[in-house]
Chain A
């Protein structure tokens, strides 16, 4: 738990553990079940906490620097405009605003980076523009946004104002079919990557929805188990291999080239807490069998990248964001 982490590296040595931000908290410095992470145009990290039904006040978006300085948060548990309950994803649009998917209200809400509510779109249904539990979300280079419409087993593309443009997919396990898709990523050329959650695979599409390839993680690895969030950048595909508690790194052809398992040390926020509660730290250190366990990922749910090679992973059950540096 409190063991110093001296720059451990990933399985294949392509990444080095860099830092951790986090602490279980219902507000302020900390997260509660973080499920999505996004870098704002101001360079601040935004982290969406899903929390649990007994902590509605903990459902929020936290803003902090990538060094772990707390800046602020916005929340509002509920179904009224500007509120959200089951947050699944956050992403910044080319307009500099934050878009948030809520799979309880089946809609996308738009906020300024500071949390001022600007509007929303979407409603429950299976028609064009309607959604049934939207999950992952990513903006394309042309400014449109791709959304995994999870229980409709499809991908929808919207204009930034929420106008539906195109959708593809249906329930199934064949090419172009989905079983509860979750994560979405778009590369610089506009190709779309979808984590096809219950089919345990990633599917790649042309920007117009034409199927290109599928990656099951067995090329160079032992396969995915319920892949969730994903990101694409610097020639690599990053897959949160949720039920395997790891992040798999693939090359552009789907070959698994590295694995991140989690190397968390003690965050600054955690250090402050433990310094104020030495009795708890003493008990944690006595439970030696748990020290290694608590450094590892536990249900990593989302991943995002910075331009300079930092990889931010929402380590959901451990209430933190682990950061790796590409070497």
Chain B
């Protein structure tokens, strides 16, 4: 099979920085060139925003989802609509949602959760310090980790602990702990009085109103604190400033970015005692973290333009998350780009594949890589993809069928054409040959091109390579 290496690399970039790309989109990106496409991805606010009026016009609970399914639907719909115009904005929101995992199982206020995801869209590519400042003031996070119960005279250390353990430094690195229990207590003291105005979760009688951050100076512990070896009259922003200066924070964020955008790592709890899979890549990302002043956009620019990212070894090296499977497939087939009835059932596929967006299993977020896969989720993934790729009423599928039919292809032409048009999917040679044999048999029995193409698409969707990014 003849592979256009530039196109294959571009498809790889879009699978990671977005949710894949359609053939016309790949044409556009290839015409721009790799580095220009990276810059386009890194600056989503320069691209057209969603037509919110049209979406709200049809999905009338768009602004005020009143249940977890509605909020999940809003999130997945936005990802699907933005997949062709602001893909990295959605991907970075998904990334931070996995790192700063907050859930409706406790928060019970859908709009407040959706506001948090919007905050990730708006600030997820900027300064990590600014992001942490906003996270510390985020009402959903405050409620999720009980900082509204963190008082001057009775601290609640939940937020302070997770800020260090799961959101910035990690428990340890290179076999050593990164902080002490005293640091946790002192961090918690610094965030006393950081609370919310209203924790009402009732929709009745007239719907909900979003929660708001409130600083209660009278409930703040203004005393001297000692944190990570520094002593002062610290408040929450001071704690965040100190955190961002730590080498452990550079390591933790670099490793997360590598795990999400490059290749699967071990699960986060094992990072203290397990070295990164590619130490040189992590070192390069750590250096960019400090050089850029903790700028996530700069780190991603370095990552996407690196040899380790472009390497053949990085291709199809990550198991797609359920959101990537669902949104990537929807984007490819071109379904639900305009509102119609039935999207909630599609959005819920993420839940059925083990990623209940906006409702992670715990504050640790979802375990990734091979842990996405079990017998149930595998069946869901394959069925969902096969159902969609095999449905010629979808405009994206119809375009593939039409394109290939015009070529009057033989069986290898159909299989290779499908692989190309699905975004340069690179199958193992034996798998590819098996599909060719299947296609030849069908054609010998009189099947038309459309039938053979649709069958090939269904089978490609069930391959290891399609289920990997």
Report which A residues bind B (CB closer than 8 A): 1, 22-25, 33, 35, 50-54, 85-86, 104, 180, 197-198, 226, 243, 264, 266-267, 269-270, 273-274, 277, 280, 283-284, 286-287, 289-290, 293-294, 298-299, 316-320
A-contacting residues, B41-65, CB 8 Å: 53-54, 56-61, 63-65
List 14 additional contacts besides A24-B66, A52-B59, A287-B209; criterion CB under 8 Å: A53-B342, A266-B205, A270-B206, A273-B204, A277-B204, A283-B202, A290-B198, A294-B206, A299-B63, A317-B63, A317-B207, A318-B206, A319-B205, A319-B206
Q: Once the chains are docked, how many angstroms separate the CA of A35 from the CA of B53?
A: 16
Query: What is the chain A residue whose CB lies nearest that of B69?
Result: A54
Instruction: Specify which chain A residues have a CB less than 8 angstroms from the CB of B58 in the assembled complex.
Output: 86
- Contact at B204–A25, with CB atoms within 8 Å? yes
Report which B residues bind A (CB closer than 8 A): 53-54, 56-61, 63-67, 69-70, 73, 197-200, 202-207, 209, 212, 340-345
Choose from B56, B59, B67, B204 the contact partner of A280 (Cβ within 8 Å).
B204
Instruction: Specify which chain A residues have a CB less than 8 angstroms from the CB of B200 in the assembled complex.
Output: 280, 283-284, 287
Could you pull out 10 A-B pairs where Cβ atoms are within 8 angstroms?
A23-B205, A33-B61, A53-B344, A104-B340, A226-B53, A264-B206, A280-B204, A289-B212, A317-B64, A317-B207
Choose from B53, B60, B197 the contact partner of A33 (Cβ within 8 Å).
B60
Q: Once the chains are docked, how many angstroms separate the CA of A286 from the CA of B215?
A: 16
Instruction: Specify which chain B residues have a CB less than 8 angstroms from the CB of A53 in the assembled complex.
Output: 69-70, 73, 341-345
In the A-B complex, list the 6 residue pairs whose CB atoms are closest, starting with the nearest: A270-B205, A287-B198, A53-B344, A52-B61, A283-B200, A290-B209
Q: Once the chains are docked, how many angstroms separate the CA of A52 from the CA of B344?
A: 10
User: Given known contacts A86-B341, A243-B53, is B198 in contact with A294 (CB within 8 Å)?
Assistant: no
- Contact at B205–A274, with CB atoms within 8 Å? yes
Instruction: Specify which chain A residues have a CB less than 8 angstroms from the CB of B344 in the assembled complex.
Output: 53-54
- Contact at B206–A22, with CB atoms within 8 Å? yes
* Total A-B residue contacts, Cβ distance less than 8 Å: 99
- Contact at A283–B205, with CB atoms within 8 Å? no
Query: What is the chain A residue whose CB lies nearest that of B200?
Result: A283
Query: What is the chain B residue whose CB lies nearest that of A33?
Result: B60
Q: Once the chains are docked, how many angstroms separate the CA of A243 from the CA of B57?
A: 10
Q: Once the chains are docked, how many angstroms separate the CA of A69 from the CA of B117?
A: 41
- Contact at A320–B206, with CB atoms within 8 Å? yes
Q: Once the chains are docked, how many angstroms separate the CA of A25 from the CA of B205?
A: 8
Choose from A52, A86, A226, A269 the contact partner of B205 (Cβ within 8 Å).
A269
Q: Once the chains are docked, how many angstroms separate the CA of A22 from the CA of B204?
A: 10
Query: What is the chain B residue whose CB lies nearest that of A289?
Result: B197
Instruction: Specify which chain A residues have a CB less than 8 angstroms from the CB of B66 in the assembled complex.
Output: 24, 52
Instruction: Specify which chain B residues have a CB less than 8 angstroms from the CB of A270 in the assembled complex.
Output: 204-206
Residue in A1, A53, A226, A318 whose Cβ sees the most chain B Cβ within 10 Å:
A53
Choose from A24, A86, A267 the contact partner of B203 (Cβ within 8 Å).
A24
Choose from B65, B67, B205 the contact partner of A273 (Cβ within 8 Å).
B205
Q: Once the chains are docked, how many angstroms separate the CA of A27 from the CA of B313?
A: 57
Query: What is the chain A residue whose CB lies nearest that of B65?
Result: A52
Instruction: Specify which chain A residues have a CB less than 8 angstroms from the CB of B63 in the assembled complex.
Output: 299, 317
Q: Once the chains are docked, how many angstroms separate the CA of A198 from the CA of B56?
A: 13
B175 to chain A minimum Cβ distance, whole angstroms, is 48
Q: Once the chains are docked, how many angstroms separate the CA of A117 from the CA of B336?
A: 31
Q: Once the chains are docked, how many angstroms separate the CA of A293 from the CA of B209?
A: 9
Query: What is the chain B residue whose CB lies nearest that of A49?
Result: B60
Instruction: Specify which chain A residues have a CB less than 8 angstroms from the CB of B61 in the assembled complex.
Output: 33, 51-52
- Contact at B199–A283, with CB atoms within 8 Å? yes
Query: What is the chain A residue whose CB lies nearest that of B72?
Result: A54
Instruction: Specify which chain B residues have a CB less than 8 angstroms from the CB of A24 in the assembled complex.
Output: 66, 203-207
Instruction: Specify which chain B residues have a CB less than 8 angstroms from the CB of A318 in the assembled complex.
Output: 206-207
Q: Once the chains are docked, how many angstroms separate the CA of A273 from the CA of B206?
A: 11
Instruction: Specify which chain A residues have a CB less than 8 angstroms from the CB of B64 in the assembled complex.
Output: 317
Instruction: Specify which chain B residues have a CB less than 8 angstroms from the CB of A293 in the assembled complex.
Output: 209
Instruction: Specify which chain A residues have a CB less than 8 angstroms from the CB of B342 in the assembled complex.
Output: 53
